[in-house]
Amino acid sequence: MICLSCNDRLSREEVQARVVAGEAVPECRLCGGILKPATVSFGQAMPERETALAFEHAERSDVFLVIGSSLVVHPAAYLPVRAVDAGAKLIIVNLEPTPYDRLATVVLLGKAGETMSALLEAIE
């Protein structure tokens, strides 16, 4: 969990324990700010450090696997492009075509869970 005001971080377990103990809406203990899961919500900016690291890893990858993404929300949607530009093979598993299917070495159309289960079974 993260505080939207001061960026303090707490474990989900700690916040959940506070709710179980009777706090209806736990606030940040440092500043009283709003706590939310430490995930990126739609419309929220991607964290700069983590985004830079993701692009570095994409550029160093041999294979870049996209599972269950429409690849239309940027900047994350540009990660497979950077990987391919750096020489990686791109595999896309998605229910529908994506804007980057043309760059992919392999495109598997289907439900992510079912497709990945079948792929793992075939590999084993």
pTM value?
0.74
pLDDT band at 43 (very low <50, low <70, confident <90, very high): confident
| Strand duo 2-3 + 35-36: pairing | antiparallel
Whether residue 87 is found in the same domain as residue 108? yes
Distance (Å, rounded) from C-alpha 37 to C-alpha 123?
35
The number of helix segments (H) and strand segments (E) in the chain equals 4, 5
pLDDT (mean) for 64-93: 96
On whether residue 42 sits in a domain, the answer given is no
* Full residue range of the structural domain in which residue 12 is found: 2-36
Q: Is 92 helix (H, G, I), strand (E, B) or coil?
A: strand
pLDDT at 40: 83
**Whether residue 26 is found in the same domain as residue 56:** no
Tokens of 85: 């530009």
User: Is-contact 92 101, C-beta < 8 A?
Assistant: yes
Residue 28 lies in a domain: yes
Whether residue 93 is found in the same domain as residue 65: yes
What's the domain count of the chain? 2
pLDDT band at 79 (very low <50, low <70, confident <90, very high): very high
- The CATH number for 103's domain is 3.40.50.1220
